[in-house]
């Protein structure tokens, strides 16, 4: 925990008055119209430069040539089945990534739409795993101002006109609109989940305008945080001497990005709801049998605000009013005809025809007067379908039902509840924003990095079992139930069962039932030795579902988030290890739900054959006892390990990371039932690792290939990274066993910890840091930034340190001086590898990269050990390179990493959420702070019999038995 006065950096670095005049700020300071002091800022006329992607060196390309050929073949094979490969470096986006991102819209898990700082709606992520990055330029806010009896008029789209793809010649489309905004006097202010755009005299010199974007991302609120909606609150201040009629216009295309409008069959209809809410519904028929999407665009009519709509306009003028005609109507009248509300549904669109809708809100603003106008957007796609057949209901349907027209209720509630949302958001954020110990840049970067939990392709289901599309599920053996969530209880033939289950998960003597507590897939399951005998002759092409429960005891449904928009794998666990601090702090029930999913997964086996692309060998998809790398891509929870470059059952970091996360969550929440429930999986995960301790010294060894999260960086023998994780896992498992009353396990792993620790220090400690590995390669003595990852989790969990405090601080200081400060003076973050001579380790592309999430993790570790200056200086490098004005433009799309010249790899990535590990270090959970200051490891007594028995055990090289502790009842000691 950090105490006292933390190192101050860039204090008041971005004062708001440098971007918006102080007078304008004062005038807008009512009804939330003024942006906060702490925010990320940009002028709207800022150049959105094209980002530079990394490239491999010639030698790296030669070494990876075989992998590249196999990956190319795999990508083509997946494409032939109409699927996108989880990793596809060969297909580039049509829209080149640029430094133009901003705060995304909506809550978590119901599809997302991002909004750039210049106002464009882009990065459409409605269909899981598919992101359309190009903006839909018809989606805009515009303004029309009339003064002095109509003699003085202003009209403009409220976005600069220099957008890629916007034609300059006059036509009947949106190029005919008035793109008069220069952006020179307009600024964007971001503090996720809100953003402010302030127009200081643009386009009307006597009008101050603030547009406040609000989304319902509210920590610990598991209802409203799932809602697909956002609100746009316009604050208007008339500084002129004339009364002004102001009309604001929201236009929206019936599209989910890209060329989705081309499929045809879309239609629009106006609506009037309660409380003055009215607008247009846009019904979108998606392609490839994906579930439909319905948008609702609306405004709130009040005594001072008049709302009208144009349900349909087109771009060409054929069959519908053209975009140009719509604009002219607004210029002349400032509103549409009231009769449009009774127009009914439009005719379905023809293929290639783009339908748009418009909502206008008009008001009079008196001289020196103020007014508020509120718009809202909602999108309803109640079902989420994955490409291999499973369809789930999204989380928000528990509260709004599965009707596509629930968008009306969503947009209504957004317009009537947004002030309550803001109160909760401010209640959450203010303690951090007002904490004088913290650097200013850190405060707003901390919140803005949370963009990924909305824009990172999240899916949040209601927790019910899926409906399965039999035609997309090869090898089906039972009839599909007509009811969603119910399964045929007739047991299939033995040959169709590939999943091993524990006794606790198979009730009634081994036959699966359709009880509330044990919902299964359409396949039956059996248990025990009979199962083990029968799976040996299975055909590799038969489908093997992963058994999932309806909903955990947390009752928050099931949650998925992608590793990144370029790495399409759900809940990638080695990366979740870093990112999970955000969920644990803000949505702990979701974090526990994810951990339960992985605890269940540890005990299963999927024997379908998979080809591993790194070496061309084959193996089974999921090995029993091994923690999966991910929960899949096209059929999550049922087909795990979409990652197929290496055989991750041989990775050395996944199982220790699982144990460490389980213990951290157990300690942070104090949830004893959670601890009991996942304990069998912890035991299995620990025992599985015995096979990698080949010399019986208690310490695992790496196998001479990249067998951990750095999957291009080879490791030989004992490694600083995996070895430290293993030491930490041994201590965490022993301590958890003691707390749960499993004496045998506690003794066993304490003894292993004592043995392993001595070996680790003897073989890797060189006096100032731990060597990269114990091998004899040219980089074995490299300084790895992440070498103390295990100690980071140990300190975060309130466990005693793995090593002498002097060694920990000495190693962290070495990392700071070499990996941080020797790269651009600390202005880029921590490079993964550095040679003892102070040169970047060029062994492979990952050793020479700076990983954003790892840098945040290293900074958190420094803070946990009293190194405040080093910690915040290290983390600030990511801010400077990624978020600052002099940086590379990676805001709201923080990549996995960048090279020392700023070229990125993998934009919009999960791991940077690790910045919340810094906040965890600054303000630990109450359960950690109030835990008794007792070293539980010292209370684990090792009997002579146990010590002798352990020393005589031969090292096993097979997956463990699921029986992890005696059948006697738990005796918890907390």
DSSP string covering 759-824, please?
HHHHHHB-SSSB-SBSS-STTTT-EETTTTHHHHHHHHTTPPPSS-HHHHHHHHHHHIIIIITTTG
718, 701 contact by CB (below 8 A)? yes
Mean pLDDT of 169-195: 89
For residue 971, the model assigns a pLDDT of 41
CA distance 857 to 917: 6
Gap between the Cα atoms of 47 and 43, Å rounded: 9
Model confidence at 259, pLDDT cuts 50, 70, 90, reads confident
End-to-end CA distance of the chain: give it in Å, rounded. Answer: 22
pLDDT score of 467: 81
Please spell the DSSP secondary structure of 592-621, one letter per residue: HHHHHHHHHHHT--EEEEEE-TTT--EEEE
Comparing 172-176, 537-541, 666-670, 801-805, the range with the smallest average pLDDT is 537-541
Report CA torsion sign: 33, 34, 37, 38: positive
Cα separations in angstroms, 247 against 121, 311, 335, 359: 21, 17, 7, 10
Distances (CA, A) of 892 to 38, 222, 447, 449, 460: 17, 24, 11, 7, 21
What fold characterizes domain 559-934?
Glycosyltransferase (1.50.10)
- Are 685 and 625 a contacting pair, CB within 8 Å? yes
Q: Per residue in 88-132, pLDDT tens?
A: 988 877 778 999 999 999 999 999 999 999 999 999 999 998 889
The crossing angle, in degrees rounded to 10, of helices 805-815 and 852-864 is: 140
886 vs 252: CA distance, rounded Å? 34
- Is the confidence at residue 41, as pLDDT, over 90? yes
Answer yes or no: are the C-beta atoms of 752 and 684 closer than 8 Å: no
pLDDT tens digits, residue range 62-97?
Answer: 888 999 899 999 999 998 988 999 999 888 777 789
Residue 924 pLDDT greater than 70, yes or no = yes
Residues 130, 88: Cα–Cα separation, whole Å: 13
What percentage of the chain reaches a pLDDT higher than 90?
73
Provide the token pair at 809. Answer: 């601080």
In terms of average pLDDT, the best of 136-150, 250-264, 892-906 is 892-906
For residues 913 and 571, give the distance between their C-alpha atoms in angstroms, rounded to a whole number. 13
Report the C-alpha gap between 891 and 99 in whole angstroms. 7
Burial class (CB in 10 A: 0-12, 13-18, 19+), 670: middle
How crowded is residue 932: how many other Cβ atoms within 10 Å of its Cβ?
8
Q: C-alpha angle 33/124/442, rounded to 5°? A: 50
Higher pLDDT among residues 531 and 231, named by residue: 231
Cβ atoms of 960 and 688 within 8 Å: the answer is yes
**Chain segment 542-573, per-residue pLDDT in tens:** 444 454 556 788 899 999 999 999 999 999 99
Strands (DSSP E) contained in 624-708 are 702-703
* Alpha helices by DSSP H, 816-933: 852-864, 868-882, 915-922, 926-929
- Total Cβ atoms within 10 A of residue 954: 7
Please give the pLDDT value at position 162: 63
Domain ranges, ordered by start, for the chain? 22-51+96-460, 559-934
Other beta carbons within 10 Å of 150 = 10
Residue 282: C-alpha distances to residues 173, 292, 356, 582 (Å)? 19, 11, 8, 35
State how far the Cα of 640 lies from the Cα of 600, in Å rounded to an integer. Answer: 12
Average model confidence (pLDDT) for the chain? Answer: 87
pLDDT score recorded for residue 471: 56
3-state SS of 288-331? CCCCCEEEEEEEECCCCCEEEEEEEEECCCCCCCEHHHHHHHHH
- Confidence band of 389 (pLDDT split at 50, 70, 90): confident
pLDDT, residue 390, reads 87
For residue 521, is pLDDT > 70? no
pLDDT recorded at residue 539: 40
Contact call for residues 280 and 375 (beta carbons, < 8 A) = no
Q: What is the pLDDT of residue 942?
A: 75
To the nearest 5 percent, what fractions of the chain are helix, strand and coil? 35, 20, 50
Q: Is 164 a residue whose pLDDT tops 70?
A: no
> Averaged over 646-667, what is the pLDDT?
98
Say what the pLDDT of residue 974 is. 38
Query: What was the pLDDT predicted at 149?
Result: 75
Q: How confident is the model at residue 510 (pLDDT cuts 50, 70, 90)?
A: very low
Residues 6+ apart with CB under 8 A from 818: 783, 834, 838
Q: What is the pLDDT of residue 281?
A: 98
C-alpha 284/C-alpha 233 separation (Å) is 26
pLDDT at 957 over 80: no
Q: What is the structure's pLDDT at 951?
A: 63
Mean pLDDT on 369-386 = 96
Residue 278 pLDDT: 97
- pLDDT score of 479 more than 70: no
Calpha distance 84→80 (Å, rounded): 9
Instruction: Compute CA 929 distance to the chain's CA centroid, rounded to the nearest angstrom.
Output: 28
Q: Which of 164-168, 239-243, 309-313, 314-318 has the lowest mean pLDDT?
A: 164-168
Helix (H, G, I), strand (E, B) or coil at 153: strand
Per-residue model confidence (pLDDT) at position 124: 94
């Amino acid at each position: 925990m950090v105490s006292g006065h933390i190192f101050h950096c860039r204090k008041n670095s971005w004062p708001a008055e440098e971007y918006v005049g102080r007078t304008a700020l004062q005038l807008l300071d009512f009804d939330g119209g003024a942006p906060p002091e702490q925010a990320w800022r940009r002028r709207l006329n800022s150049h959105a430069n094209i980002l530079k992607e990394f490239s491999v060196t010639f030698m790296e390309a030669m070494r990876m040539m075989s992998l590249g050929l196999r990956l190319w073949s795999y990508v083509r094979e997946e494409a032939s089945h109409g699927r996108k490969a989880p990793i596809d470096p060969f297909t580039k986006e049509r829209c080149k990534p640029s430094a133009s991102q901003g705060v995304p819209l909506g809550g978590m898990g119901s599809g997302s739409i991002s909004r750039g700082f210049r106002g464009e709606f882009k990065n459409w992520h409605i269909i899981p795993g598919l992101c359309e990055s190009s903006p839909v330029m018809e989606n805009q806010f515009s303004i029309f101002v009339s003064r002095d009896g109509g003699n003085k008029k202003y009209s403009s789209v409220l976005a600069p006109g220099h957008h890629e793809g916007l034609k300059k010649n006059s036509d009947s489309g949106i190029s005919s609109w008035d793109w008069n905004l220069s952006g020179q006097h307009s600024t964007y202010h971001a503090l996720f989940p809100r953003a402010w755009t302030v127009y200081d005299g643009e386009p009307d010199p006597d009008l101050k305008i603030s547009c406040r974007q609000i989304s319902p991302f509210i920590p610990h609120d598991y209802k409203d945080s799932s809602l697909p909606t956002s609100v746009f609150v316009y604050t208007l201040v008339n500084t002129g001497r004339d009364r002004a009629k102001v009309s604001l216009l929201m236009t929206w295309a019936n599209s989910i990005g890209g060329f989705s409008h081309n499929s045809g069959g879309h239609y629009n209809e106006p609506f009037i709801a309660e409380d003055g809410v009215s607008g247009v519904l846009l019904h979108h028929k998606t392609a490839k049998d994906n579930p439909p999407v319905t948008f609702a665009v609306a405004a709130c009519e009040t005594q001072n605000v008049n709302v009208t709509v144009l349900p349909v306009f087109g771009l060409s003028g054929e069959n519908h009013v053209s975009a140009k005609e719509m604009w002219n109507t607004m210029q002349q009248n400032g509103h549409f005809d009231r009769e449009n509300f009774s127009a009914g549904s439009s005719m379905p669109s023809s293929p290639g025809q783009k339908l748009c809708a418009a909502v206008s809100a008009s008001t009079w603003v008196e001289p020196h007067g103020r007014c508020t106008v509120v718009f809202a957007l909602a999108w309803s796609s109640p079902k989420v379908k994955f490409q291999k057949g499973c369809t789930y209901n999204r989380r928000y349907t528990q509260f709004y039902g599965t009707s596509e027209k629930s968008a009306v209720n969503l947009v209504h509630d957004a317009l009537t509840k947004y002030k309550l949302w803001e109160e909760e958001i401010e209640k959450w954020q203010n303690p951090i924003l007002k904490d004088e110990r913290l650097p200013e840049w850190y405060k707003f970067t901390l919140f803005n990095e949370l963009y990924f939990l909305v824009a990172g392709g999240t899916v949040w289901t209601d927790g019910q079992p899926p409906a399965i599309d039999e035609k997309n599920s090869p090898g089906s053996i039972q009839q599909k139930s007509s009811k969603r969530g119910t399964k045929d209880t007739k047991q299939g033939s033995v040959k169709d069962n590939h999943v091993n289950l524990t006794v606790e998960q198979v009730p009634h003597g081994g036959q699966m039932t359709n009880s509330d507590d044990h919902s299964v897939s359409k396949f039956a399951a059996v248990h025990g030795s009979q199962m083990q005998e029968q799976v040996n002759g299975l055909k590799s092409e038969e489908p093997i579902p992963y058994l999932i429960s309806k909903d955990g005891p947390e009752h928050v449904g099931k949650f998925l988030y992608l590793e990144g928009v370029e790495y399409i794998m759900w809940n990638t666990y080695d990366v979740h290890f870093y990112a999970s601090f955000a969920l644990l702090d803000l949505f702990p029930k979701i974090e526990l739900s994810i951990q339960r999913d992985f605890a269940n997964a540890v005990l299963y086996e999927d024997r379908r054959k998979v080809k591993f692309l790194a070496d061309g060998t084959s193996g089974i998809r999921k090995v029993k006892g091994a923690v999966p790398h991910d929960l899949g891509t096209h059929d999550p929870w049922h087909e795990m390990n979409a990652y197929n470059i290496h055989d991750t059952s041989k990775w050395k970091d996944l199982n220790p990371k699982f144990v460490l996360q389980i213990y951290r969550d157990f300690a942070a929440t104090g949830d004893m039932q959670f601890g009991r429930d996942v304990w069998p999986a912890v035991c299995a995960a620990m025992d599985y690792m015995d096979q990698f301790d080949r010399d019986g010294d208690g310490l695992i060894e790496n196998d001479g290939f990249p067998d951990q999260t750095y999957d291009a960086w080879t490791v030989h023998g004992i490694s600083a990274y995996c070895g430290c994780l293993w030491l930490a896992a041994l201590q965490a498992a022993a301590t958890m066993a003691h707390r749960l009353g499993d004496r045998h396990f506690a003794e066993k792993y304490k003894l292993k910890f004592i043995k392993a620790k001595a070996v680790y220090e003897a073989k890797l400690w060189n006096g100032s840091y731990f060597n990269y590995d114990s091998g004899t390669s040219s980089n074995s003595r490299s300084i790895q930034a992440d070498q103390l990852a295990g100690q980071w989790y140990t300190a975060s969990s309130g466990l005693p340190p793995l090593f002498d405090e002097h060694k920990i601080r000495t190693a962290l200081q070495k990392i700071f001086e070499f990996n941080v400060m020797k790269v651009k003076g600390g202005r880029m973050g921590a490079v993964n590898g550095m040679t003892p001579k102070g040169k970047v380790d060029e062994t492979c592309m990952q050793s020479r990269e700076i990983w954003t999430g790892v840098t945040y993790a290293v900074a958190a570790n420094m803070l946990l050990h009293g190194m405040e200056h080093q910690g915040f200086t290290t983390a600030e490098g990511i801010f400077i390179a990624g978020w600052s004005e002099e940086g590379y433009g990676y805001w709201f799309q923080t990549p996995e990493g960048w090279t020392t010249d700023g070229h990125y790899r993998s934009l919009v990535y999960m791991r940077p959420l690790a910045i919340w590990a810094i906040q965890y270090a600054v303000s630990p959970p109450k359960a950690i702070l109030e835990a008794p200051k007792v070293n539980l490891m010292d209370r684990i007594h090792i009997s002579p019999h146990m010590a002798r028995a352990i020393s005589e055990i031969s090292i096993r090289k097979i997956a463990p038995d699921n029986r992890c502790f005696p059948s006697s009842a738990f005796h918890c000691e907390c």
